[in-house]
């Protein structure tokens, strides 16, 4: 039986090295299959890569991944009409019924690695049973079943990915000593999040299930990125403090082996307050900043997106981090359906009061709620009252107060239209 010809492709994974391709490559390699990996975010589309492929597997991890994923699929189909095209990742889960048939032949609903191995082997002519998470059709009205019961964890194969130096993170400089541009290794310690924020694509894709990656596997990956030149680790987990022990144990082992590494994490304001000793230890071990999603500092907005936070949580976390010298990278969804013009005009005063005005990234002044199809927010009564303009994968929405949209237009008028304004790394 010949070896299947597999191309793993990604167009955007938050500006980081696409480790979804790396973990798929590890599973494929263990099965004797040597894939080719393509990241069009840094290398563009090489049509020749798809010419002889039996299987083209395209990662769609974030909403900003959708357009490049479709471009990759269309290119592969044009160059190689017989190729089997499979899409996987969070936004492949969310948009399965819109991607299947139109842009791909199959969708992986959940963890993609074992499903891609089975699809690759079948594509080469082997008689193999395909797992249930590999879907070739969506039954209208049927509940979505996503399989995230992982087994056989493996560190991603990074050697076949573009080098870390191809990925730059100018926004990290202000948090690091001397403002130097770091070489960043993106590390995952767990998939998923226990929380159910209604705007969040992690919740929309996989619910509140969390799968922890064994610490030995995480350490293998940290060693890989250090060998590739990483000087800073970005833990890309949607919620680093999913567990009170897992994340801190990873960091302890990492710092014992690589004392000079710095790192950053993402966590919620209430977890900061509940885990003060952990936050102090993380800060002492080299945590240069903590990304935390604050959405908007009014209880009305926090409740509308099911954040399960209070404004006291947010302001308490800010005060505590200031007290211990921990830097916050606060993110917001500044323009949203529940904010008033008066709220927006008072935002600068709140930043000054809390001290966040000194560190807030300018991009946060122009973030706007992304209302994607499949979002739990679409069942929100207030959202249903909005004037919506439908697109293939999302809705444009208009605020009930036209002055809010006028302010948004004024704030974004001079922006580069190609610039992506993200509120966090897991959108």
- Secondary structure (DSSP) of 284-298: HTTEEEEEEEEE-SS
What's the confidence (pLDDT) of residue 419? 43
Q: Given this model, what pLDDT does residue 125 score? A: 86
Which DSSP string corresponds to 174-221? GGSGGGPPPPEEEE-SEE--S---TT-HHHHHHTT--EEPPHHHHHHH
pLDDT at 31: 93
Q: Which pLDDT does position 264 carry in this prediction? A: 96
Nearby residues of 30 by Cβ (< 8 Å), 6 or more positions away: 154
Q: Which residues pair with 8 in a beta bridge?
A: 37, 57
d(CA 364, CA 356): 12
| All CATH 3.40.50.10140 domain ranges in the chain, comma separated | 6-135
Give the pLDDT of residue 327.
Answer: 94
Predicted TM-score of the model (pTM): 0.93
In this predicted structure, what is the pLDDT of residue 235?
97
pLDDT given for residue 109 in this prediction: 86
- The three-state secondary structure class of 256 is helix
pLDDT at site 415: 54
Q: CA dist 150 to 9, 104, 177, 360, Å?
A: 22, 24, 38, 37
pLDDT, residue 414, reads 63
Question: Where does CATH 3.80.30.20 sit in the chain?
Answer: 168-412
* Average pLDDT over the chain, rounded to an integer: 91
Which residue ranges in the chain fall short of pLDDT 50? 140-143, 417-423
Q: What is the CATH number of domain 168-412?
A: 3.80.30.20
Tell me how far apart the alpha carbons of residues 26 and 191 are, in angstroms, rounded to a whole number: 17
What tens digit of pLDDT does each residue of 40-60 get?
999 999 999 999 999 999 999
- Please give the CATH number for the structural domain made up of 6-135: 3.40.50.10140
Query: Whole-angstrom Cα distance, residue 41 to residue 69?
Result: 11
pLDDT reported for residue 424: 52
Q: Which two tokens stand for residue 249?
A: 């144990």
Contacts with 111 (C-beta within 8 Å, 6 or more apart), sequence order: 133, 147, 148, 149, 150, 191, 211
């Amino acid at each position: 039986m010949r070896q299947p010809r597999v191309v793993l492709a990604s167009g955007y994974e938050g500006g980081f090295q696409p480790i979804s391709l790396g973990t798929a490559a590890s599973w494929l390699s263990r099965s004797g299959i040597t894939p080719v990996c393509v990241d069009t975010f840094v290398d563009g589309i090489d049509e020749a890569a798809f010419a002889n492929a039996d299987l083209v597997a395209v990662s769609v991890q974030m909403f900003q991944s959708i357009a490049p994923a479709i471009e990759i699929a269309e290119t592969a189909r044009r160059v190689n009409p017989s190729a089997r095209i499979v899409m996987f990742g969070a936004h492949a889960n969310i948009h399965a019924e819109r991607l299947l048939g139109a842009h791909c032949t199959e969708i992986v609903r959940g963890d993609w690695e074992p499903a891609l191995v089975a699809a690759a082997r079948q594509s080469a002519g082997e008689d193999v049973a395909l797992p249930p998470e590999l879907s070739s059709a969506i039954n209208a009205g049927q509940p979505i079943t996503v399989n995230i019961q992982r087994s056989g964890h493996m560190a991603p194969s990074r050697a076949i990915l573009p080098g870390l130096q191809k990925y730059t993170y100018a926004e990290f400089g202000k948090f690091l000593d001397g403002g130097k541009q770091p070489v960043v290794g993106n590390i995952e310690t767990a998939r998923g999040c226990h929380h159910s924020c209604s705007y969040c694509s992690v919740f929309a894709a996989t619910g509140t299930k969390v799968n922890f990656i064994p610490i030995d596997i995480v350490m293998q990956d940290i060693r890989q990125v250090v060998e590739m030149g990483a000087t800073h680790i970005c833990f890309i987990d949607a919620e680093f403090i999913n567990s009170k022990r897992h994340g801190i144990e990873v960091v302890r082992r990492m710092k014992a082996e690589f004392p000079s590494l710095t790192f950053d994490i993402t966590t919620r304001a209430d977890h900061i307050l509940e885990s003060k000793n952990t936050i102090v230890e993380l800060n002492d071990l080299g945590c240069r900043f903590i990304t935390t999603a604050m959405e908007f500092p009014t209880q009305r907005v926090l409740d509308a997106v099911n954040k399960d936070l209070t404004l006291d949580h947010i302001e308490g976390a800010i005060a505590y981090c200031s007290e211990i010298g921990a830097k916050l990278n606060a993110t917001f969804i500044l323009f949203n359906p529940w904010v008033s013009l008066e709220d927006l005009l008072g935002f600068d005063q709140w930043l000054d009061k809390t001290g966040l005005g000194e560190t807030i990234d300018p991009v946060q002044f122009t973030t706007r709620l992304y209302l994607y199809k499949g979002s739990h927010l679409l069942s929100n009564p207030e959202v249903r009252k909005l004037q919506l303009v439908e697109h293939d994968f999302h809705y444009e929405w208009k605020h009930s107060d036209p002055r809010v949209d006028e302010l948004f237009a004024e704030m974004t008028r001079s922006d580069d239209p190609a610039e992506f304004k993200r509120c966090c790394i897991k959108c």
